[in-house]
Structure 1
Amino acid sequence: MLLLAAILLLTLLLFLLLLQSLFRFVTRKKERVVGFFHPFTNDGGGGERVLWCAVRAVQEMATDLPIAIYTGDPATPESLALRALDRFGVKLLQPIRVVRLQRRKWVEARTYPRLTLIGQSLGSMVLAWEALSAVKPLLFIDTSGYAFTYVVASWIAGSFVACYTHYPTISSDMLARVRSRTPLYNNHLSVTRSYWLTTAKVLYYRVVAWMYGLAGACADVAMVNSSWTQSHINRIWRIPNRTFLVYPPCDTLSLQVLPLERPTTPAYIVSVAQFRPEKAHELQLEAFVMALNDLPPALITEVQLKFIGSCRHQEDEERVEALREKCHVLGLQQRVEFCLNVSYKELVKLLGGAIAGLHTMTDEHFGISVVEYMAAGAVVIAHDSAGPKLDIVVEEAGQRTGFLASSAQEYASAIRHVLLMPDNERLQITQAARHRASLFSEAMFDTAFKKAMSPLITKCVDADSGLLTMKRFRVPGRRVNKLHTS
C-alpha cells in the first residue's frame, strides 16, 4: 500500500514538473531570431549546401534579423562561416549565432536498432524541445527533414515554421517495396521472407505516414527539392498551396568554366557521395569490375575509379574500410582511390578531370552530385529513378544528357560505352548536359527560395517591428491565426 502511494506521489510530482516546464516553455518570449535546425552541420553533402545558401538568402531578405544555427557539432560562429566558404563557396553576410545541442543522439539511427523511423521522428521532438528551450525564434526553419519538430515549433512554441525537404521520411515507394517484399538497405531480407513480418511492417509504415502527415501540415511554408519529392509530400502532407518546388543550389557557375575537352588516357571516373548504405558504393565496384573485364587490355591499365566523400563519424569510416576490403577481394586495389573529406577546391579539380560520374542511389530525392557531374563536363551515369530520372538526366533540345541504369550489368555497359565513345559524341553529350545543369544553379535556388519565403519573412519583420502580434492556435489538421494590430 505504501509502495503504491509512493508511486502515485512520484508520478504526480513528475507530472507537475512537466507542467511547470511546459508553462515556462510556452510563456517564454520569442527572440527576434531566425533559427535554422540542422543538427549535423558537418555532413558535407547537398543538405549542408542548402543550409548555407538559405542562411545567406535570409540575411539578404531581412538584414536586421539575426540567424541562429541549432547544431550538435562542436562549432563556433567563425568555424561555421569558414566551413561554408571553404567547403561550398558560400560567403555569409553577417556573423551567425550557434546554439549547441547536447541531445543529438536522439536523432541518430544507431540509437534505434529497431523501429528506426518512429524512433528518430519522436527523438527529433526531444531535440527540438532542447533547441527551442535555448532560443525560441520568430521563424523556425528546418533544413534537415525532421518534420516532427514542426509540432514543437508551431503548436507549442508558436513560431512560424518553414522547411526544406530533401527526402520524405516515408513514401508510397517505400510502402510498395515492403508489400512486394523487395530487399533493400531499409528492408531486411528476414522481413521480405515472412508474410507476417511484411504485414506488420506495412501497418507500421502506415501509422508513421499518418503521423508524418500531421506533423508536416504544421509548416507555414514547405519547400521540396524535386518533382518526385513534391509528389510524395503533396500526397502525405496535403498542403499543396503551401508547398513549393525549389531545386537545390548546385555550384554550376564555377564548374561550368571547366573545359569540356579532357584527356581520355589515362581516364578516371568519379563517384561523389557520402558513405552511407543507400548510396550503394558496392554496386559501383561490381559494375566497375564488370566493365574492366570487357575493355581492351591496353585501356584497363589507364582507368581508375575515385570515391569522393566525407566521413561524418565512426560508422562512415567503417563503411570506407569495408569498401577497401571489397576492392582487395575484387582485385581493384590499384584501380580505386578514396578521396576523403576533400576541400571544395579539390573537389572542383577532381571533377574537372573526370571522364564520367557515377550515381547509384535508388530513389535519390534529387541528386546534386549528378548536376555537378553535368556542369563539370563528366558524362553522367545515374540511377534510373526519382530525381535523376524525372528532373535532371532528361533530353535537352532532343540531345542525350547522360545515361540511366539500375543493375550492375546496365552500369557496366554504360561505363564501357562512355570510355570507348568517340570524342565528338562525348562533347555533344556534355554540352547538352551543361546547358541542362544551368537550371539548377545557386542563382536559380536563391530566386525560388526568396519567392517562396517572402510572405513569411514579411510577417516576421512585421511581428518583430510591433506592427503585428501573432497569436497562434494549433489544432491537428487545421490552422487558425489570429492577427492583432498594435
Structure 2
Amino acid sequence: MEMQQLGRWLLSAGLATALLCVGILWTALVRARRGIKPVVAFFHPYTNDGGGGERVLWCAVRAIQEMAPGLDVVVYTGDLATPDSLAARALDRFGVKLVKAPQVVKLERRKWVEAKTYPRFTIIGQSLGSIILAWEALSKLTPLIFLDTSGYAFTYMIARAAGSFVVCYTHYPTISTDMLERVRSRASLYNNDVRISRSFWLSSIKVWYYRIVAQLYGLAGRCAHLVMVNSSWTRAHINAIWKMPDRTFLVYPPCNTLTLQALPLERPQQNQYIVSVAQFRPEKAHELQLEAFALALEQLSLQNTEARLKLVGSCRNQEDNDRVESLRLKCRERGLEQNVDFCLGVSNTEMVELLGGAIAGLHTMTDEHFGIVVVEYMASGAVPIAHNSAGPKLDIVVNEGGNRTGFLASSVSEFADAMCHVVTMPADERMKIAQAGRVRAARFSESKFDSAFKEAISPILEEAMKCAGIIRSG
C-alpha cells in the first residue's frame, strides 16, 4: 500500500512539476520580450544570515562593480532591506566596502524556499519553491546576468529561458553522491533519519527519491553558462551530477584572514582553552564535541592538566535555542559545567579575541563543503582539529611546505586524542604547526577570491555586455 501511495505521489508530483515548469517558462519568455535590463542581479533571498555565503555575496558584488561600472547591480532579497542598509551591512558585518549601494528587488514569496514549508520531501519541495521565487524575481526585473549565490539550481532554467546569462557560485550541492551512498548503506546522520536507516524498504524508497532528484538537479544545473564552486569536494560532486567540467571553476571563498593574521601566535600557558565556532545547527555535531571533550578531560586529568571548551555561535530560531538548552543539560549530566562556556551572539571584536586566545579550534561537521571557520582558526593561530572529510580534508588541513597544519579526526576517541595532544604538546611544537597553518590560510584570503572570481567571470561578462551593446570601461 505504501509503495502504491508513493507511486501515485511521484506521478502527481511529476505532472504538477511539468505543468508548473511549462507555465513558468512560458511566462518568463513572454516577460523577456519586454526587455532585459542592463544589470547584474544576485539571487540571494537571505541577506542577513551572517555566514560565509553572505561574505561571498558582498565580495562578488564589489568585484562586479569594479569590473563593469557601466552595469547596475541588483540584489533579490526576501529581507526588509534598502540599498543603503545592504551597503552598510556589507561594511559593518564583513568589512566589504562596495563601490556603491546595490539596487534592491524585494521578494515576497520567500516562504516557498523555507524548509519548514515542506515537512516531507523537503529537497524537491524547496527546489520547486525556488522556481516560484525565481518567477517572482524575473517578473519584477529580468537582468542581463542572473547570478545565484545561494545554491538554488532550479532557478537557472527560468532565468535562461528569460534570456539572462546564468552564473552561479555553489557552496554545497543540493544532492550529492555521498548522500546517495549514505542512504544506500543505511547510515544514520542528521540528514538521514534513524527510522529510515533502519528500514530496508524506506531506505530503498529514499534512494529512488534521491536518484530522481539528482537527475532533475543535473538538468537544472546544466542551464548555467558558468559555474563557480567553493571547494574540491563540491567540484567533484557538481561535475558528477551536472557533467560540465569545462564550465566549472574552483574559486575558494573569501575568508577574513587579514585581521586574524595580525594576532600573535603565542598563547598563555595558563587557562588554556579550545574554541568551537559554529551555529547551533544539528549538522555541526555539538554533542559529539561534548562527548569527545569529556573523554579528553578524563585523559588530561591523569596528567594533572586542565582545559576549557568555549562553544561560540548563534541561534537562528527556537529549535536552535532548544538545542542549546539540550547541550547545557548534557554538560550537567556529564559534569562539564565548570569546563564548558556557551558564548552566544558575540560581536566580531569578541570573536577575534576568543580566537586570539585559543590554542585549538574544533570542527566536527561531516562533509563540510569548505570550512571557512577552519581557515579562521588557522589564520588566528589556533591549531585546527577538523572532521576528516570534504573541504577540511581535501583543501584546508593539508601539509604546507612539508609541515603539519592541524589535525583531522572522525570518531569521538580520535577527536579526544587530538585535543589532548594539542593541549599537552610543547609550546614550540604548537607554534610550528600554527605558523604553517597561518601560511596555508593565506591561500583563502579575500584578495585571492577577488582575482579568481574576476578571472572566471570575465569571459561571460564580456559576452553579455557585447550582446547588450555595452562598452566595458577599464
TM-score normalised to the size of structure 2? 0.91
Q: Write out per-residue CA displacement over residues 232-290 of structure 1, whole angstroms, 9 at most, x where no aligned residue.
A: 11111011111000011111111111100111311221111222211111111111111
Change in 2 beyond 3 A, CA 1:338/1:231:
same
The 1-side partners of 2:77 and 2:121 are apart by: 24
Indicate whether 1:93 and 2:99 are aligned.
yes
Amino acid at match of 1:110: K
- Once the two structures are overlaid, the 10-residue window that deviates more, 383-392 or 104-113, is 104-113
Residue 324 of structure 1 deviates from its aligned partner by 2.6
Q: Which residue of 1 aligns with 2:370?
A: 366
Q: Which residue of 1 aligns with 2:124?
A: 118
Contact 1:248/1:440 (<8 A) preserved: yes
Q: Which residue of 1 aligns with 2:111?
A: 105
The 1-side partners of 2:54 and 2:22 are apart by: 40
Indicate whether 1:255 and 2:260 are aligned.
yes
Equivalent runs, 1:24-173 vs 2, <5 Å: 24-155=30-161, 157-173=162-178
Contact 1:309/1:339 (<8 A) preserved: yes
Change in 2 beyond 3 A, CA 1:110/1:406:
same
Q: Which residue of 1 aligns with 2:281?
A: 276
Indicate whether 1:335 and 2:359 are aligned.
no
Change in 2 beyond 3 A, CA 1:322/1:136:
farther
Change in 2 beyond 3 A, CA 1:23/1:50:
closer
The 1-side partners of 2:206 and 2:241 are apart by: 18
Residue 311 of structure 1 deviates from its aligned partner by 2.5
Amino acid at match of 1:69: V
Indicate whether 1:237 and 2:242 are aligned.
yes
The 1-side partners of 2:217 and 2:21 are apart by: 27
Q: Which residue of 2 aligns with 1:383?
A: 387
Contact 2:40/2:145 (<8 A) preserved: yes
Identity %: 66
Equivalent runs, 1:445-464 vs 2, <5 Å: 445-464=449-468
Amino acid at match of 2:86: L
Contact 2:76/2:107 (<8 A) preserved: yes
Contact 1:374/1:380 (<8 A) preserved: yes
Change in 2 beyond 3 A, CA 1:23/1:379:
closer
Residue 98 of structure 1 deviates from its aligned partner by 1.7
Contact 2:170/2:228 (<8 A) preserved: yes
2:153 partner SS: coil
Indicate whether 1:434 and 2:447 are aligned.
no
Residue 365 of structure 1 deviates from its aligned partner by 0.7
The 1-side partners of 2:130 and 2:179 are apart by: 21
1:32 partner SS: strand
Change in 2 beyond 3 A, CA 1:298/1:17:
closer
Residue 103 of structure 1 deviates from its aligned partner by 1.4
2:408 partner SS: strand
Q: Which residue of 2 aligns with 1:471?
A: none
The 1-side partners of 2:261 and 2:325 are apart by: 34
The 2-side partners of 1:364 and 1:464 are apart by: 39
The 2-side partners of 1:142 and 1:22 are apart by: 17
Change in 2 beyond 3 A, CA 1:21/1:226:
closer
Equivalent runs, 1:283-362 vs 2, <5 Å: 283-296=288-301, 303-362=307-366
The 1-side partners of 2:375 and 2:25 are apart by: 50
- Once the two structures are overlaid, the 10-residue window that deviates more, 406-415 or 73-82, is 73-82
Residue 132 of structure 1 deviates from its aligned partner by 1.4
Contact 2:28/2:158 (<8 A) preserved: no
Amino acid at match of 1:222: V
Residue 318 of structure 1 deviates from its aligned partner by 2.9
The 1-side partners of 2:27 and 2:421 are apart by: 63
Residue among 223, 231, 236 paired with 1:218? 223
Residue 231 of structure 1 deviates from its aligned partner by 0.8
Contact 2:32/2:142 (<8 A) preserved: no
The 2-side partners of 1:246 and 1:392 are apart by: 14
Residue 397 of structure 1 deviates from its aligned partner by 1.8
Change in 2 beyond 3 A, CA 1:124/1:233:
same
Identify unmatched segments of 5+ residues in structure 1. 1-13, 469-486
Residue among 196, 221, 237 paired with 1:191? 196
Contact 2:37/2:144 (<8 A) preserved: yes
Contact 2:24/2:158 (<8 A) preserved: no
Amino acid at match of 2:437: A
Contact 2:86/2:101 (<8 A) preserved: no
Identify unmatched segments of 5+ residues in structure 2. 1-19
Contact 2:24/2:135 (<8 A) preserved: no
Residue 16 of structure 1 deviates from its aligned partner by 13
Contact 1:39/1:70 (<8 A) preserved: yes
Change in 2 beyond 3 A, CA 1:280/1:329:
same
Contact 2:28/2:139 (<8 A) preserved: no
Residue among 399, 402, 424 paired with 1:420? 424
Residue 23 of structure 1 deviates from its aligned partner by 6.2
1:387 partner SS: helix
1:259 partner SS: coil
- Once the two structures are overlaid, the 10-residue window that deviates more, 200-209 or 340-349, is 340-349
Residue 465 of structure 1 deviates from its aligned partner by 3.1
Residue 460 of structure 1 deviates from its aligned partner by 2.6
The 1-side partners of 2:370 and 2:363 are apart by: 11
Contact 1:44/1:310 (<8 A) preserved: no
Q: Which residue of 2 aligns with 1:266?
A: 271
Q: Which residue of 2 aligns with 1:474?
A: none
- Once the two structures are overlaid, the 10-residue window that deviates more, 238-247 or 17-26, is 17-26
Contact 1:43/1:310 (<8 A) preserved: no
Residue 139 of structure 1 deviates from its aligned partner by 0.6
The 2-side partners of 1:174 and 1:147 are apart by: 17
The 2-side partners of 1:225 and 1:166 are apart by: 5
Q: Which residue of 2 aligns with 1:410?
A: 414
1:363 partner SS: coil
Q: Write out per-residue CA displacement over residues 433-452 of structure 1, whole angstroms, 9 at most, x where no aligned residue.
A: 11111111111111110000
The 1-side partners of 2:321 and 2:241 are apart by: 35
The 1-side partners of 2:337 and 2:354 are apart by: 19
Change in 2 beyond 3 A, CA 1:182/1:30:
same
1:413 partner SS: helix
Cα RMSD for the two superposed structures: 2.2
1:44 partner SS: coil
Contact 1:212/1:237 (<8 A) preserved: yes
